[in-house]
Amino acid sequence: MGDFSSLGLSDWLVKQCKQLGISKPTPVQQNCMPAILEGRDCMGCAKTGSGKTAAFVLPVLQKLSEEPYGIFCLVLTPTRELAYQIAEQFRVLGKPLGLRECIIVGGMDMVSQAMELSNQPHVVVATPGRLADHIRSSNTFSMSKIQFLILDEADRLLEQGCTDFTKDLEVILGILPAKRQTLLFSATLTDTLQELKSIAMNKPFFWESTSETRTVEELDQRYILTPEKVKDAYLVHLIQTFTDEHDDWSLIIFTNTCKNCQILTMMLREFNFPTISLHSMMKQKQRFANLAKFKASVYKILIATDVAARGLDIPTVQVVINHNTPGLPKIYIHRVGRTARAGRNGVSITLVTQYDIHLVHSIEEQTQTKLKEYPVEEKEVLKILTQVNVTRRECEIKLESTDFDEKKEINKRKQLILEGKDPDLEAKRKAELEKIRSQKKKFKQKIQESIQRQKQGQLKKNLMKRKQIKKKKAEQAAA
């Protein structure tokens, strides 16, 4: 494998890479960077932790150094934390250029963001929602001359999940020049290939790592089969074991809801584990602060929802625990990819109840890897079961006495207001829709019943007719 110079990077960039301990290009960098430097659109699909970020940051910096102006490059990404991480890579690698980058994400001050945008930064890293808001509300900046549009975690940006970015993307694409280079990256691009191809317009260069498996070899993938009620006891037992054995490890626990995330954090703190949380119901500043503390190993355990599933690069993470089995293999791939990055080893443990076994099968099918059972001393788990469950219940009660659910409702209302909708009107509309739906359902049921009655009536008639014919035939035969 060649080095960065042979891929066409200038000496100053090669030097920057070396300073960061990056001396040999990874396969995704080796393959995609020449195409990007040639001016082609590019789609790169490579496993988690394989250096996709540098694969787009380096060529952009190279091109920018040849013709520096702002706004030169726009990077879109699904989460705010990831936007900061990408911007940091630009900042560190682009230091000799005096790079000016700007981060546009929700939950932060919009006025100062608008000012930064109007100062024509070289690179803008944004989440789609907030950038679209800026486009809708001001005309103090222009993106009509950008050279690069980059979609990191491109498949997530285009899928219609719980956060749907498609409308915001339309707004953003509307102000971008048609003549530009579009670069799309993710560890799971293939499902959304067609949609992606329509965004990258000029016959994109497509590169996908050839490996059969979709997770990295260095990752030891395990599962524990457990009844729902024993899950938390397993979790506490696992954390106890890991923290007893390794003092330089940190772990991420993924869970399905913000509320569960909060309860687990409270519960683990009751057991004196250094735990911190990350979920979308927290204030943005708190989210950043918590992540920074986790990165600095002030707290060794991060409990997060899927807001932390993609892209985050934290080298100390040795273990990922899935407190719930992810419903989609894709989510599993990204979650467990928070460990075993850049050639390091890591372990993932998925807690599986009897109702999740089919999910594990589809994960195994998609990743082409068999999950192995994680050996646990069940006796030890049963010893702490009652204490753990009582503690959890206490934490639930504590949380219920706070305004957590109320906050959720308020957040929903805020979101509606931001989308330009009246929350009360929306609630009314929802109720009306529900009413219409239930009326429709009743109406359908009635129709179905009457059809059924008619059918039965018809059947009866037919039977009677047949009987009469039989009777007649019998009478005729007798005569």
Ligand X SMILES: Nc1ncnc2c1ncn2[C@@H]1O[C@H](COP(=O)(O)OP(=O)(O)OP(=O)(O)O)[C@@H](O)[C@H]1O
Number of residues in contact with ligand X under rule CB under 6 A: 19
**Which residue has 């100390």 as its token pair?**
316
Question: CB under 6 A: which stretch of 48-56, 171-179, 203-211, 387-395 binds ligand X?
Answer: 48-56
- Single out the residue of 7, 22, 45, 301 in contact with ligand X (rule: CB under 6 A): 22
- Could you tell me the two tokens for 297? 């190993």
Q: Which does 329 bind (CB under 5 to 8 A by kind): ligand X, Mg ion, none?
A: none
Residue 233's nearest CA partner among 351, 332, 336, 400 is 351
The alpha carbon of residue 246 and the mean position of all alpha carbons in its chain are separated, in whole angstroms, by: 29
- Single out the residue of 42, 187, 236, 301 in contact with ligand X (rule: CB under 6 A): 187
Q: How far is the CB of 76 from ligand X (least distance, A)?
A: 14
User: Exposed (0-12), middle (13-18) or buried (19+): which is 1, by Cβ within 10 Å?
Assistant: exposed
Question: CB under 6 A: which stretch of 21-29, 279-287, 323-331, 432-440 binds ligand X?
Answer: 21-29
Kindly report the CA angle at 357 between 354 and 363, in degrees rounded to 5? 155
Question: CB under 5 A: which stretch of 245-253, 311-319, 328-336, 354-362 binds Mg ion?
Answer: 311-319
Q: Which does 237 bind (CB under 5 to 8 A by kind): Mg ion, ligand X, none?
A: none
- State which residue, 185 or 205, has the beta carbon closest to ligand X: 185
Question: CB under 6 A: which stretch of 20-28, 59-67, 393-401, 434-442 binds ligand X?
Answer: 20-28
Question: Which residues 50-69 are close enough to bind ligand X by CB under 6 A?
Answer: 50-54
Distance CA 35, CA 44 (A): 11
Q: Which does 473 bind (CB under 5 to 8 A by kind): Mg ion, ligand X, none?
A: none
Q: Which does 320 bind (CB under 5 to 8 A by kind): ligand X, Mg ion, none?
A: none
**454: three-class secondary structure by DSSP:** helix
The alpha carbon of residue 478 and the mean position of all alpha carbons in its chain are separated, in whole angstroms, by: 82
Q: Is 259 in the site for ligand X (CB under 6 A)?
A: no
**Which residue has 């090669």 as its token pair?**
14
- State which residue, 25 or 311, has the beta carbon closest to Mg ion: 311
Cis bond before residue 71 (omega within 30° of 0): yes
DSSP E strands: which ranges in 205-269? 205-208, 219-225, 250-254
Lay out the site mask for Mg ion across 267-306 (x = CB under 5 A, - = otherwise): ----------------------------------------
Q: How far is the CB of 305 from ligand X (least distance, A)?
A: 17
**366: three-class secondary structure by DSSP:** helix
Cis bond before residue 224 (omega within 30° of 0): no
Q: How far is the CB of 153 from ligand X (least distance, A)?
A: 7
Q: How far is the CB of 172 from Mg ion (least distance, A)?
A: 20
Q: Is 26 in the site for ligand X (CB under 6 A)?
A: yes
Q: How far is the CB of 311 from Mg ion (least distance, A)?
A: 4
Distance CA 190, CA 207 (A): 11
**Helical residues (DSSP H) of 296-422, grouped into ranges:** 329-336, 357-367, 378-400, 404-418
Q: How far is the CB of 218 from Mg ion (least distance, A)?
A: 17
Q: How far is the CB of 443 from Mg ion (least distance, A)?
A: 51
Lay out the site mask for ligand X across 334-353 (x = CB under 6 A, - = otherwise): ---x---xx-----------
Q: What is the DSSP letter of 306?
A: G
Q: Is 121 in the site for ligand X (CB under 6 A)?
A: no
Residues near 422 by beta carbon (within 8 Å), at least 6 away in sequence: 416
- Single out the residue of 9, 35, 42, 49 in contact with ligand X (rule: CB under 6 A): 49
- Single out the residue of 51, 70, 311, 337 in contact with Mg ion (rule: CB under 5 A): 311
Q: Is 51 in the site for Mg ion (CB under 5 A)?
A: no
- State which residue, 26 or 369, has the beta carbon closest to ligand X: 26
- Could you tell me the two tokens for 244? 């007893």
Contact 342, 216 (CB under 8 A): no
Count of CB atoms situated within 10 Å of the CB of 408: 14
Residue 286's nearest CA partner among 295, 275, 276 is 276
Q: Which helix (H) or strand (E) holds 435?
A: helix 423-478
Q: End-to-end alpha-carbon separation of the chain, Å?
A: 103
Question: CB under 5 A: which stretch of 156-164, 214-222, 310-318, 381-389 binds Mg ion?
Answer: 310-318
Q: Is 42 in the site for ligand X (CB under 6 A)?
A: no
Q: Give the residue closest to ligand X by C-beta.
A: 51
Kindly report the CA angle at 378 between 375 and 382, in degrees rounded to 5? 150
Q: Which does 342 bind (CB under 5 to 8 A by kind): Mg ion, ligand X, none?
A: ligand X
Q: Which does 94 bind (CB under 5 to 8 A by kind): ligand X, Mg ion, none?
A: none
Residues near 180 by beta carbon (within 8 Å), at least 6 away in sequence: 146, 147, 148, 149
Interaction site with ligand X (CB under 6 A): 22, 24-26, 29, 46, 48-54, 187, 311, 313, 337, 341-342
Interaction site with Mg ion (CB under 5 A): 52, 311
